[in-house]
Structure 1
Amino acid sequence: MDARIDGFVSSEEELAEVLKSASAQKVCAVDTEADSLHRYRESLCLIQFAWDDQSVLIDPLAVQDLKLLVDYMRDREVWMHGADYDMTMLRREFDALPGDVFDTQIGVRLLGLRQFGLANLVEHYFDVKLSKSSQKADWGKRPLSEKMIEYALNDVRYLLPMAEKIVEELKELGRYEWFVESCEVAKERVLERDETKDDPWRIQGSGRLDRAGLHFLNALWYWRDKEAMRWDRPTFMVATNRQLIDWAQVLADDKRLELPHHYRPDRRRRFEAMVKDAREVSKEHYPHRLRGLRRRRDKDFDSRLDELLKRRNSVAEDLGIEGSVIASRGMLEALAARDEGAVDAFMNWQRQCLDLG
């Protein structure tokens, strides 16, 4: 076998060679790396691919056309770990997902493992300790260091043998069908997810701001976005979401705001100009607070919720898994409030566990 097959794939010819070697396999493992910690716009920088006992790194920054890989995965059983992120990246890049995606993380949670990071599982199943030294590496840089290459390959090297062990354990416990349904639903959620937001500035925590606070948060959010774009860095490197919320409140209260000491003079000038413009906007144009879903909490709501929580926790204890795997508190609150369609949020196996009919 060509030595390139166990290494770095950086051309369409090499990709074709790899996929030809893997053509007889119906199962493969995939992982992805992006540069979200280092760039303004997140890009897919690396695809780790494994089949049988082989593993390679595919460079999407060098391979211009990855259609062969997309077509290959469409007809395969693809294993990932923490698949939501990787499926999201693949959908953005190719507007498509593999035909069948199975997630080792979902599998081990159904088995009752409480530590389900990849390194935890590799140590659990193979008694091998993986290095985490490249977790925050810049995957957009070339060439990759030997340490980064080893780290990336380890993300897929163990997935297929681990998958065999997980499937065997799930079948022994009668939970394999639960696993398949859970993976199917996870894939559907990624495909149905709307990644566009009308008001992207309404970040977590904004609900506690009044209209003035929301107005300044809006201005701050777009100022930060422009600064990050200018700098070509992630927005959190300009200011965190928590800082934006705090600053919006300070500005709404008309108090003095102390900017971080490391801000350059030009960034400070643009900040002050933004604040000046925001203060000139008439209050009647301030954004309104969103009205959240108000649940009908009748006199029996708390008792119904308490009963549902007890039932879930009892079932979870009997199964040896976390209660949140069976149902989140939010799902149970919707049931207790008798919201329309609340039962539909549960998978079939979850309904069976909770005897929801």
Structure 2
Amino acid sequence: MDDFTAVHSATTSALVATTRTAGQLATSDLPFHRSLDAGLSSALDEQNARLLSLAERLLGAATGSSAETGVRSHTPRLSGIESVEGNWRAVVDVVDSLLERADTALDEFTGAVRRLSPGASEQQKVGAGGTGLVRPGRIAAALKNREIEKPQLRFEHVPSNDETGIFQPLLESKPHASRPLKEVGAGEQPYQKEIEEYQFPDSVYIQAEPIPYHPFDSTTATFVDTEEAMYEMLEELKQASEIAVDLEHHDQRSYIGIVSLMQISTRDKDWIVDTLKPWRRKLQCLNEVFANPSILKVLHGAYMDVMWLQRDLGLYLVGLFDTHYACRALGYTGGSLAFLLKKFADVDAQKQYQTADWRIRPLPQELFDYARSDTHYLLYIFDNMRNELIQRSDLCLPNHEGDKLWDVLQKSTETALQRYEHPIYDGELGQGPMGWYKLLARTPALLSKEQFSVFRAAHRWRDNVAREQDDSVHFVLPNHHIFSLAKQMPDTKEGVLNTVHPATQTVRFRIDELLGVVVNAKADGKDGEEMMDVLNRVEPQPSRKAPREVVSHSVAAFLPKVSSPVANGALSALPLRSATSTFWGAVVPGVGRQDRRTASTAASGISLTVPLPELTAEIFADRPAYTSTPVKPSSPEPMPTETPVDEGQNDVFILKELGKKRKRAVVDAESRVAMDGMAANNDEVAIMPDMESERAQEKVERRKAKKEAKRAKAAEVAGGLNYDEPAADEEPFDYASAPSILNPPRESREEARERRKKNIDPYAKKSVDVPKPLGRVQKERSGRSMTYKS
């Protein structure tokens, strides 16, 4: 380390001195000095040629390693000043690649591993807490930096990540068993029968005063990191009737994930269990508590916790109460644990620690307190939610219809029955939790054959590398980088680095391997499968726009057969017409739609046709006024199956009166008979009783009176003039003798002179009594104001 520090200091000093010298030269007016001294000009040219030669040799050395791998690489040529400007982008790419490799090498040599690994002086134990002392300045780095030695490498059972069969439970014994462990079948959860037959204790159905929690500041938790401390905790947990459990999980530097901490709380005490110890599988002795039907286990959002406990520790929960389902049953606005802490305990959870690296040892005090708070208040929260569930439940309804508490217990039991399974990769159809199908199906991208081949190849490469390194797939290569590689399909290392910038540590180490995968997949994709063909084999994709040569199943089912090849092959589809119809039944070839409808309805004795009379001029005439005298309607005759139209009949059939609105009218019986049963289908409604006729007449009278009142009021406003009726002393206007408007008579000079003398307005007589219109609205103009005028 001392040698590295000396080399680093010397290199930095040399680079600083070189940079300063170059900066000083750049500020000098070299062209001016060239013009003064020819010898200086020649010396500068020689130095330029020497520096360009050195730079070209360095670029060749930086890119020469690609010749060993057989991957094509481009070395920029620097023959002159002009070539530097032309190849500047290539030079920058090489320098960026060198910096990436140097950064990776420095991280490996003296990276965060040594800085975050606790020294001997730091591993001091705190009495009751049991955590190590961590300097506050390291907290921020601990939350972000992932360069920690993998604890799973020290486990007694190192994960292999290549299991493909049925998950075998880790249990060596089965406490509180109603069925022995040896009778449990393959692929079955060991405690399935016990969970299904479990009856919750009577205390769950009794409303009681919530038991308050102990003050957080005046108490502490016990850090369990030895086997002796584990057995001591077990003996105390056996005495409890309810416990609260929570887990802290890490999934960044592990392929399947790893449980890093387990928090357990009773009414009086808290424990923080270190689950990263090599003997971690011995924690399955806690099944004496976790599987005990007389002890209630309270968790929040336990769906994944149930499977993590099975996978890593061999623990199973019999008697689970999930407060997340209680939130949903009670209709809370929030469903997170932070919401419940704030609602019932008035505690603001520090959720910035939720994504912390829980593998850090010794555990910082901030993380220790955060983990402890997840279970310290949870039993008190359970008491309040249980009481509220009982209060808002209707226990009188049969089949637990109004029992909210029963719904929560049933859903919690279903969660406890979950069974862990190995993640199996399906490279062909992309199924499973680690497959590519869901990632591609919910993305609107439509890839070509080559792009789709690169996408699947890069996705499979990522999964293989993640299993080999025991890292998460997102740590190896994020999802958006896979799409970028598929769309760009780079063929050089520099292109790959630019496409997936910023590149992950794995990509920088295995850049040649990833480049080979992309190049080979692009070549294989030319004769590969279409993306839509593969997706439709799993599930049809109706919402995605397919290429023209790809025909979706919904369209192909109605295309006629063709003999000429289209796109990649001839279309083989069903005929255009089907032999049967869901609505009309059997279809007779050569029969039109109207004929098929008549034939089908005639067979059932139902007539769907309505006879219409001939259209005559009487139809467009005004409707005669109907009398309100009631007439007893005659009994209508049954509608025939098919009535021919009589060419000689002249009955009037009014569809709609022209120029009038639809109104409810009084229709007598004779008109109904003449219309041949069409009154039932007419838009107008017939009103037969006298009472309805009188009401209609009164309504007309009220409208008429209201209209007369409006006219009188308008005449009063207009100055007492009624424009609807002419005045008694006013003669009607003679339109025949009126002068033409287009060619008005010319006024003589004498008449014009006389009119100007008298200043007579020819239109004043006509407009003197007319109300004056409103004035023009004033608008603001730029630079002027209508309020203040000069």
Q: What is the TM-score with the length of structure 1 in the denominator? A: 0.72
Could you say which residue in structure 2 is the equivalent of 1:240?
A: 478
SS at match of 2:264: strand
Q: 1:106 to 1:193 in 2, by over 3 A?
A: farther
Name whichever of 102-111 and 213-222 sits farther off: 213-222
The residue identity in structure 2 corresponding to 1:289 is: L
Could you say which residue in structure 2 is the equivalent of 1:331?
A: none
How far apart, CA to CA, are the structure 1 residues paired with 2:356 and 2:435? 28
Instruction: Please state if 1:104 is matched with 2:326.
Output: no
How far apart, CA to CA, are the structure 2 residues paired with 1:196 and 1:158? 39
Cα distance, 1:90 vs structure 2:
0.7
Instruction: Please state if 1:217 is matched with 2:455.
Output: yes
Out of 403, 421, 424, the residue aligned to residue 196 of structure 1 is 424
Identical pairs, percent: 24
Cα distance, 1:144 vs structure 2:
0.5
Instruction: Please state if 1:49 is matched with 2:271.
Output: no
The residue identity in structure 2 corresponding to 1:191 is: R
Cα distance, 1:99 vs structure 2:
0.7
Instruction: Please state if 1:291 is matched with 2:534.
Output: no
Instruction: Please state if 1:36 is matched with 2:251.
Output: yes
How far apart, CA to CA, are the structure 2 residues paired with 1:172 and 1:289? 50
The residue identity in structure 2 corresponding to 1:276 is: V
The residue identity in structure 1 corresponding to 2:461 is: W
Could you say which residue in structure 1 is the equivalent of 2:356?
A: 137
Q: 1:184 to 1:49 in 2, by over 3 A?
A: same
SS at match of 1:191: coil
Alignment of 1:176-325 (within 5 A): 176-188=405-417, 190-191=418-419, 195-198=423-426, 199=430, 200-207=434-441, 209=446, 212=449, 213-228=451-466, 233-251=471-489, 258-263=498-503, 266-281=509-524, 286=529, 288-292=534-538
How far apart, CA to CA, are the structure 2 residues paired with 1:177 and 1:221? 44
Out of 373, 382, 400, the residue aligned to residue 163 of structure 1 is 382
SS at match of 1:17: helix
Q: 1:192 to 1:20 in 2, by over 3 A?
A: closer
The residue identity in structure 1 corresponding to 2:524 is: V
The residue identity in structure 2 corresponding to 1:271 is: L
SS at match of 1:162: helix
Cα distance, 1:68 vs structure 2:
1.6
How far apart, CA to CA, are the structure 2 residues paired with 1:98 and 1:162? 20
Alignment of 1:73-112 (within 5 A): 73-75=290-292, 76-112=295-331
Cα distance, 1:284 vs structure 2:
5.5
How far apart, CA to CA, are the structure 2 residues paired with 1:277 and 1:223? 12
Could you say which residue in structure 2 is the equivalent of 1:21?
A: 236
Q: 1:195 to 1:276 in 2, by over 3 A?
A: closer
Contact kept in structure 2, 1:104 and 1:163, CA below 8 Å:
yes
Cα distance, 1:71 vs structure 2:
2.8
Could you tell me which runs of 5 or more consecutive residues in structure 2 were left unpaired when the two chains were aligned. Answer: 1-126, 130-219, 394-403, 542-790
Give the number of equivalent residue pairs: 290
Cα distance, 1:262 vs structure 2:
3.3
How far apart, CA to CA, are the structure 1 residues paired with 2:245 and 2:508? 45
Q: 1:234 to 1:293 in 2, by over 3 A?
A: closer
Q: 1:123 to 1:191 in 2, by over 3 A?
A: same
SS at match of 2:270: strand
Instruction: Please state if 1:70 is matched with 2:70.
Output: no
Name whichever of 154-163 and 124-133 sits farther off: 124-133
Once the two structures are superposed, residues 46-102 of structure 1 have per-residue CA deviations (whole angstroms, 9 ceiling, x without a partner) of 111111221111112225411221332011321111111211211212444211221
How far apart, CA to CA, are the structure 2 residues paired with 1:259 and 1:127? 48
Q: 1:84 to 1:168 in 2, by over 3 A?
A: same
Cα distance, 1:178 vs structure 2:
1.0
SS at match of 1:57: strand
Contact kept in structure 2, 1:33 and 1:45, CA below 8 Å:
yes
The residue identity in structure 1 corresponding to 2:499 is: L
The residue identity in structure 2 corresponding to 1:243 is: H
How far apart, CA to CA, are the structure 2 residues paired with 1:280 and 1:158? 60
How far apart, CA to CA, are the structure 2 residues paired with 1:15 and 1:239? 39
Contact kept in structure 1, 2:306 and 2:415, CA below 8 Å:
no
Instruction: Please state if 1:114 is matched with 2:343.
Output: no
SS at match of 2:358: coil
How far apart, CA to CA, are the structure 1 residues paired with 2:255 and 2:453? 24
The residue identity in structure 2 corresponding to 1:196 is: I
The residue identity in structure 1 corresponding to 2:286 is: L
Could you say which residue in structure 1 is the equivalent of 2:10?
A: none
Q: 1:222 to 1:166 in 2, by over 3 A?
A: same
Alignment of 1:330-345 (within 5 A): none
Out of 143, 154, 170, the residue aligned to residue 373 of structure 2 is 154
Once the two structures are superposed, residues 315-345 of structure 1 have per-residue CA deviations (whole angstroms, 9 ceiling, x without a partner) of xxxxxxxxxxxxxxxxxxxxxxxxxxxxxxx
Cα distance, 1:211 vs structure 2:
7.4
Cα distance, 1:280 vs structure 2:
3.5
Moved over 6 A (4+): none
Contact kept in structure 2, 1:73 and 1:99, CA below 8 Å:
yes
Could you say which residue in structure 2 is the equivalent of 1:6?
A: 221
Contact kept in structure 1, 2:311 and 2:420, CA below 8 Å:
no
Q: 1:274 to 1:196 in 2, by over 3 A?
A: closer
How far apart, CA to CA, are the structure 2 residues paired with 1:261 and 1:210? 21
SS at match of 2:435: coil
How far apart, CA to CA, are the structure 2 residues paired with 1:234 and 1:205? 16
Cα distance, 1:103 vs structure 2:
1.1
SS at match of 2:351: coil
Q: What is the TM-score with the length of structure 2 in the denominator? A: 0.34
Name whichever of 29-38 and 49-58 sits farther off: 29-38
The residue identity in structure 2 corresponding to 1:225 is: D
How far apart, CA to CA, are the structure 2 residues paired with 1:283 and 1:74? 57
How far apart, CA to CA, are the structure 2 residues paired with 1:230 and 1:185? 34
